[in-house]
Chains A and B, each alone.
Chain A
Amino acid sequence: EDQVTQSPEALRLQEGESSSLNCSYTVSGLRGLFWYRQDPGKGPEFLFTLYSAGEEKEKERLKATLTKKESFLHITAPKPEDSATYLCAVQGAGSYQLTFGKGTKLSVIP
């Protein structure tokens, strides 16, 4: 059974204070690891897909990395508009289903 654990559950940062969110996973044959951003009252919004260990992807202040057991979402010099819940999900071999973590709620204080 695929499993995803995200930590911490919540994170408060001062504006400009860089940090990282963690996503630990177990999956049979990783096809992809996904990061989504979810704002209150909205559906998740796709950020990145990572396919293999060592891969990195960047978008503005966000950088996602992947190892064989976990992924990190690094946030550099965050701004208040980066406040959201960040979701991690994995897709295993031969499956249409994504297994989602519970998310990390990020708050960036001005």
Chain B
Amino acid sequence: NAGVTQTPKFQVLKTGQSMTLQCAQDMNHNSMYWYRQDPGMGLRLIYYSASEGTTDKGEVPNGYNVSRLNKREFSLRLESAAPSQTSVYFCASSEGGTANSPLHFGNGTRLTVT
């Protein structure tokens, strides 16, 4: 049981380049999330998808787009990368959006933008 799988694990981009971070879950969860984690700061929500076919902005959505491809997959796209987007990105999933369904996280994508 793989849980939440993120690809790639590491990526280096130059300013202005674009890329897509991939995330897939095999737990049949309805909700999926993208967070970023920066030194000295808590995890911050970028976008989330409460259910297949819906997406909503989180706390820090600027510079990102998302696609809920199907129930299993939720991708995060950086159209024109900036150094401020250097971070560790975590995908997570949960059965629903209530407190009764905790988040399950992947192991992250470490992105450096030069």
Contacts and interface: CB of A to CB of B under 8 A. Distances in A.
A80 to B, nearest CB: 22
Interface centre among B4, B42, B50, B100 (most CB of A within 10 A): B42
A interface secondary structure, majority: strand
B interface secondary structure, majority: loop
Interface centre among A4, A43, A96 (most CB of B within 10 A): A43
Interface stretch (B14-22, B66-74, B76-84, B105-113): B105-113
A45 B98 contact: no
A99 B45 CA distance: 8
Given A43-B4, A97-B58, A87 B43 contact: yes
Interface of B: 4, 31, 40-45, 48, 50, 56, 58-59, 90, 92, 97-100, 102-108
